Amino acid sequence: MKPEHVEEFFRRLAERLPDPRSELEFESPFTLLVAVVLSAQATDASVNKATPALFELANTPEKMVALGEPRIQDLIRTIGLYRTKAKNIIKLSEMLIAEHDSKVPRTREALQRLPGVGRKTANVVLNVAFAEPTIAVDTHIFRVGNRTGLARGVTPEQVETRLEKAVPARYKLHAHHWLILHGRYICTARKPNCPECVVNDLCAFKAKTTLEPPKTLRVKPARTPGRKAKAQRGRARLAMRSA
């Protein structure tokens, strides 16, 4: 995509949603970190259902360790991979206490050393908790980047690198949320809503969807007479001739 089109792409997304926010619920960098760890291969909605009860009991690393793995498992049972995630939450809480004065570190390297924290999770925490202009490439951003031609790549890291180069500096802080929300609600995996997409004319996707005509206006194809009807008409003609 040409740089002037990338600029226009983000100008329109920014105009539509000037102050985009994470849809995960959290109250501090620590609860954000836990919520993002829980959201791996799960929806934000499923995480938001479980975390209020969890954070009411444990909103600091110390309280999380005191709560213990079996109790955490009970509280997050509705989220996929809950056993592994409960184990990681205990371990990362212990590491935060032992190595970071119970605080969430502000560097990608330190974040990625925590159990259950990969590059994507680290990028989300840096962006949302510390206002760093990182772009965490999840399934939505990967799809939007490739479809639109904004940042094509075969791995999330490739898409991330290309987005970092392509996105104008003034849009970098919120680019992550604009692209996620665009992918989640407009440029969906199965049926993108291209007719209502504000960047439709800038997008390079070849299989854009179009408006379907209303049911009442759909013209029924003319039916060709079946064999039975033809045979009946033939018999009627014969009967008339022999009469």
Q: Where are the alpha helices (DSSP H) in the chain?
A: 3-16, 29-38, 44-57, 61-67, 69-75, 82-99, 108-112, 119-130, 139-148, 156-166, 172-185, 227-242
Does the footprint of ligand SF4 cover residue 6 (CB under 6 A)?
no
Active-site pick, 19, 74, 101, 138: 138
- Going residue by residue from 52 to 91, which x/- string records binding to ligand SF4, judged by CB under 6 A? ----------------------------------------
Does the footprint of ligand SF4 cover residue 10 (CB under 6 A)?
no
Does the footprint of ligand SF4 cover residue 96 (CB under 6 A)?
no
Q: Exactly one of 85, 120, 140, 147 binds ligand SF4 (CB under 6 A); which one?
A: 147
Backbone angles phi, psi at 72, to 5 degrees: -65, -45
Q: Contact at 8 Å (CB) between 30 and 59?
A: yes
Q: What distance in Å separates the CA atoms of residue 49 and residue 152, rounded to the nearest whole number?
A: 34
Interface region with ligand SF4, contact rule CB under 6 A, candidates 77-85, 111-119, 202-210, 229-237: 202-210
Active-site pick, 120, 201, 206, 215: 120
Q: Exactly one of 148, 167, 180, 181 binds ligand SF4 (CB under 6 A); which one?
A: 148
What minimum distance in Å lies between the beta carbon of 183 and ligand SF4? 8
Binders of ligand SF4 in range 161-200 (CB under 6 A): 186-187, 192-194, 197, 199-200
Does the footprint of ligand SF4 cover residue 1 (CB under 6 A)?
no
Instruction: Give which of 128, 159, 154 is closest to 39, Cα–Cα.
Output: 128
Q: Which residues of 91-120 are buried (b: 16+ CB within 10 A; e: fewer)?
A: ebbbbbbeeeeeebbeebebbeebbbbebb
What minimum distance in Å lies between the beta carbon of 129 and ligand SF4? 29
Q: What distance in Å separates the CA atoms of residue 4 and residue 236, rounded to the nearest whole number?
A: 72
To the query of whether residue 138 is one of the catalytic residues in this protein, the response is: yes
Catalytic (active-site) positions: 120, 138
Q: Which chain residues interact with ligand SF4 by CB under 6 A?
A: 147-148, 186-187, 192-194, 197, 199-200, 203, 205, 208
